[in-house]
Chains A and B, each alone.
Chain A
Amino acid sequence: MTTVVQPLPAELVYKAQRSMVRLLDITTIGCVGASLLVLVLSGEFPPILMLFNAVALFLSIFLGRSNIVSRHRGIFNGLLIASLLFFGIRAFLNGAYIYEAVLFMATVQVVKLFQRTEPTDILQILALSMMGLIVGAIANPDLIFALSFLVTLLLMTWALLLTHFYRDACRQVADAQGLGIDPDIVMAGLTRRISGGFILGVTGLSILLFILTAAVFLFFPRMGLGFLFRGGSATSVSAFANKITLGNHGVIQTDSTTIARVQLPEHVGKRPPLRLYLRGRTQHTYKRGSWSRHGVDQRGLGSVHKKKTQLPYPPRYPISEEWVRARIYLEPIASSLAVLPVPSGTARISLAESRDFSPYARHVSVFQDVDGDVYQNSRRRFRLIYDVDFFPKSDAGGEDYNESDPRHRVRYLRVPRRLSSRLSELAGEWGADPDNPLQAAARIEKNLRSRYGYTRNEVVAPNKDPVEYFLFDRKKGHCEYFATSMVLILRSLGIPSRIVSGFAGGEWNRTAGFFTIRNKDAHSWVEVFIPDQGWVRYDPSPRVFVPEATGLMAWFMRQVQALRLRWLVWIVSYNGTRQRVFFRGVRTSFGDAKKRFRNMGGLIKGLFLAVFLILLFGFVYWRIRGRRARMDQNRRPRPPPEFKIIRGILERLYRARHLSEPYGTYLRRAARVLGRQDAKIQQELFGASHLLDAVLHDPKSTLNDRRQLKRSFRRIRAGMRSLEATPSKDVPPPPSLMQDVA
């Protein structure tokens, strides 16, 4: 005895409502793509795996729901099990359980795309893509997340809605199969829903979702209890290293990872006001190609979380000079010493902006050492925002050089004995006067810039000191060589100097008034102690700084960067303080509006009141009228939309329809009366009446029938224009509308 295998409801629905299911597939794939995009661009995950996922995603567009997949379901299930084992073993070996779980999840969602048959499969895929977005929020909180989020918001609305319709249809078919009813009969009654109005409606739904999301985001109280790790992207930055080593790097990469953004609020829309130098670490002793630091005294800044606090070792600045305000958005960076890069000449600093932003920032303490370097005591990686006031034309800050202090002599004057005589000879050739530090420094800087070339390509000096090789043989190198050379030459003349590593230049964005500092902006320069002037900065490197690019592409990139900063400021860094500012702003605006209203003249107040009362009464009237109309509607049903085409002309030529007269019956009666004038109209009306009955009452009627009905009514209307009015008082209809049987 053969058993008949019934086809799956999902397959039957797919055959009957192909366009809806295809749209569902496209939106689902879009959601998965948006989620993968965030993960791929975070840079945290292996590129090969991400590439595999991207290719699989592309293939699933064509192969999902195909016979190939349904015949080989076992292979895909095997793939899932294999990936579970693979990532499980990796997690066990390297201990990164969450990381491997994320990779597994990204793989599963793509493999499941091939097996997207049932509505539950689609929901699982959407849930996985949502989880991918959550991971992306932590791994890659940049502007690309905003794009992915918006795409997901739009597409997921569609996907969830269509999944619901799909599941409803499958449920209807399954119920029919359970009762032994032909599923085709059920599916014929499931009308198609994808129309222009539907598309507009769903788009409106997405907008509403966006508004609600924004409202929750703005008003949800911000708190961070700090039990869980709050990570960020880890970037190892050489500019903040504890050592500088020459000759070890090969070709130095021009890495475009953003380290920080330095916003100058008073310079929005203007040209770059200065060349920015962000101070990192000072180095003291040079030995065999490496710089190192000594332990130095430091002092803490107490109330830095509440207000701007004066640095313990502030710079010297001319009295007439105006200070410049800057807000620095520091990306999470991995640094063994947690440097806080500040502009050269910083006098005051405040971490108040970060206070409510991160649970860890509240506990961060800020220090400044005698060299003027500023750093914080936390080893965690998190974003910081801090405000500084600095004097561009001041000295670099830090403790003044004290000749009698042996520690200062060690830190700022020590030169390797082997190099000392050669370097002082060179200085003499360049005309540097050891008794005039200002002149000497300027001369050395000028000579280095003019006589030596800049290159990022390092070459290991054969049995020679790298600086010696640079100065006397190769004659080209990068900024560390130039800075090291200048410091050593000055020290050989007995002039106190030090090398500082940090960032210089950056890309100026006129639109939002900020510098974008990248890894490739890492730089080294020299600070020379000039009596009565303090530690003066010199930059002997001939590197070319281009603070503001030009051209259409550059303009476009500036807009993108400005958008990125706004995203960072208003979304990623939105904290309790900003929330309170927002609410205060709303309250203030409301208060201002109230004051302005009170100060207005009586006539205008009266006008406002009149408008308000009109709107209020209008609203009340509309609600009451709506309620009455709804009560009436039980007695006076609204006509089907197509009927409106001929209702007016029938009322004019024949009579109005009785309250409970079936539409079909009404048309047939009109046909009999008006048909005496024109037989063709009679035929059309009869045909239209049966079609109308089918549209109203027959569950098998389709969209095509409605279109046919519309066309028929239009023909009838055109034909009836030439008829004469024939009012009739024919037999009233039966009492109950619902008794009318098609």
Chain B
Amino acid sequence: MRWFWRKKKKARTIEEKIALYRRLPRRLDIYREGVWLIVMIFGLGIAAINTGHNLLYLLLGFLLSIISLSGILSERMLKRAVVDFLPPDGLHVGEITRIPVGFKYTGRWGRVYSLRASPLLDDGVAETVPAYAPQLTAGERRRFIMRTRFLRRGIYSSPRARLETDFPFGFVSKSRLLEVESTYRVWPRIHPVQLDPPNRAEQQYSDQAGYVSVTGEEFFSVREYRPGDPLKRIHWRLTARATRTVVRELELPGSPRLSISCVIPSLGEPAQEDAYADMAASLAVAGLNAGYLVELVTPHQKVKAQRGRAQQRRILNVLAEEPADGPIQSAGVVICAQDPFGRPLELGFRGDAPHWDLVRVE
């Protein structure tokens, strides 16, 4: 009799969740009110059958019709709806991120109501408030917001999306899986850390704190105009085409460089492991904001020293997928700064971060 008492195992991973839908393409989750309705139907059915009272049969028919109609309408809602996720380039651990989800109703007439969509993820990866579409007309395409907070860094790919509805009466929630892929790059947490800009002696290389100097010769890139940029650096042709003023950025013969080395040990505690990545990411972002060329070195990857938003993305992507398998002896975040001529620079930190003990300055 052990099989009878064995508790049903809850599906935790994506594969287990997909397997549930393989058996039955639609899943029903009965709410408490639905359970009471079913109990009422059973009770009424027994009373009607026992007594033969026709009006009880009439009421039984009414309740059964509610259930049947509920099933038919909820199926109609699910059948013709498709969704599309638009995750941003990256989102940070612990931050509530608004992810647009496109809903489309492909039917030719009528409307659909009360649809909720969410990506299929492993349990414990994220807290999600599904995107909710209150109403869509035939052929309409609209975007609604899904709010997510990822609990761990990493790159998560969701091969399916779960579309559910409890229309029309809210007794039962019916859901199905859609073949919609979406990928979420979850970057480490960024603590509010600031690095002092390179010292005064090197400020000949920068017009303002944190910005790159223009005394170089080589064309580097264009960027938006900042107050203080020399007018001769304005790229007039691009400015005419774009709706904002852009300036040329020229490469320096050298720039202050910040080198960050991050080794994440295997501790068995995800929060503790992520702390290393968080500190490395926070320092990298602070360095980039301060005007350094930042490079990142990990046991598995190396990101060459560069600056700018793209560099920030590269560093964060690497830190997002850096596995926690480094040796404990060399675990930690090591940071060192050099001027354009290779001389070491002093680093000044400001700001609040919980894990300074993991950081070593060389």
Which A residues are CB-close (under 8 A) to B44? 134
Given contacts A168-B114, A193-B134, A205-B69, contact A224 B59 (CB under 8 A): no
CB pair B62–A213 under 8 Å, yes or no, is: yes
Q: Of the 9-residue stretches A158-166, A304-312, A439-447, A678-686, which lies at the interface with chain B? A: A158-166
CB pair B144–A189 under 8 Å, yes or no, is: yes
Given contacts A145-B55, A149-B58, A212-B69, contact A205 B168 (CB under 8 A): yes
Interface residue tally on A, bucketed by range = 35 or more
CB pair B139–A153 under 8 Å, yes or no, is: no
CB pair B65–A209 under 8 Å, yes or no, is: yes
Total cross-chain contacts (CB, 8 A): 173
Q: Mark B227-267, 1 if CB is under 8 A from A, else 0.
A: 00000000000000000000000000000000000000000
CB pair A638–B147 under 8 Å, yes or no, is: no
| Whole-angstrom CA separation of A153 from B69 in the bound complex | 13
CB pair A738–B129 under 8 Å, yes or no, is: no
| Whole-angstrom CA separation of A572 from B59 in the bound complex | 12
- A472 CB-CB contact with B under 8 Å: no
Given contacts A209-B66, A212-B69, contact A699 B58 (CB under 8 A): no
Other-chain contact of A180, B96, B104, B138 (Cβ < 8 Å): B96
- B199 CB-CB contact with A under 8 Å: no
Other-chain contact of A574, B54, B64, B110, B137 (Cβ < 8 Å): B54
Majority-rule SS of B interface residues: mixed
CB pair B134–A191 under 8 Å, yes or no, is: yes
Q: Of the 9-residue stretches B15-23, B45-53, B218-226, which lies at the interface with chain A? A: B45-53
| In the complex, residue of chain B having the shortest beta-carbon distance to the beta carbon of A153 | B62
- B106 CB-CB contact with A under 8 Å: yes
Which A residues are CB-close (under 8 A) to B55? 137-138, 141, 145, 571-572
CB pair B65–A213 under 8 Å, yes or no, is: yes
- B349 CB-CB contact with A under 8 Å: no
Majority-rule SS of A interface residues: helix
| Whole-angstrom CA separation of A214 from B59 in the bound complex | 10
Q: Of the 9-residue stretches A87-95, A225-233, A523-531, which lies at the interface with chain B? A: A225-233
| In the complex, residue of chain B having the shortest beta-carbon distance to the beta carbon of A208 | B69
Interfacial residues of chain A within 138-171, with CB under 8 A of chain B in the complex: 138, 141, 145, 149, 153, 160-161, 163-165, 167-168
Q: Mark B63-98, 1 if CB is under 8 A from A, else 0.
A: 111101100010000001010101000000000100
- A563 CB-CB contact with B under 8 Å: no
- B156 CB-CB contact with A under 8 Å: no
Given contacts A163-B170, A230-B52, A629-B108, contact A220 B57 (CB under 8 A): yes
Interface residue tally on B, bucketed by range = 35 or more
Q: Mark A552-593, 1 if CB is under 8 A from B, else 0.
A: 000000000000000000011111000000000000000000
| In the complex, residue of chain A having the shortest beta-carbon distance to the beta carbon of B145 | A699
- B309 CB-CB contact with A under 8 Å: no
CB pair B50–A164 under 8 Å, yes or no, is: no
CB pair B50–A228 under 8 Å, yes or no, is: yes
| In the complex, residue of chain B having the shortest beta-carbon distance to the beta carbon of A629 | B108
CB pair B51–A167 under 8 Å, yes or no, is: no
Other-chain contact of A212, B61, B108, B134, B139 (Cβ < 8 Å): B61
Interfacial residues of chain B within 142-186, with CB under 8 A of chain A in the complex: 142-145, 147, 149, 166-170
CB pair B58–A571 under 8 Å, yes or no, is: yes
Which A residues are CB-close (under 8 A) to B84? 738
Which A residues are CB-close (under 8 A) to B51? 224, 226, 228-230, 359
| In the complex, residue of chain A having the shortest beta-carbon distance to the beta carbon of B86 | A738
CB pair B52–A164 under 8 Å, yes or no, is: no
CB pair A164–B170 under 8 Å, yes or no, is: yes
Most chain A CB neighbours (cut-off 10 Å) among B114, B166, B169: B169
Min CB–CB distance A305 → chain B (angstroms): 15
Which B residues are CB-close (under 8 A) to A714? none
Interfacial residues of chain B within 99-122, with CB under 8 A of chain A in the complex: 102, 104, 106, 108, 110-111, 113-114
| In the complex, residue of chain A having the shortest beta-carbon distance to the beta carbon of B82 | A634
Which A residues are CB-close (under 8 A) to B36? 127
A-B contact pairs, 12 of them (CB 8 A): A127-B40, A130-B63, A137-B56, A138-B55, A153-B62, A165-B134, A168-B134, A180-B96, A209-B65, A230-B53, A572-B55, A640-B139
A-B pairs with lowest CB-CB distance, top 9: A224-B52, A638-B139, A216-B61, A212-B65, A137-B55, A164-B170, A213-B61, A230-B51, A160-B169
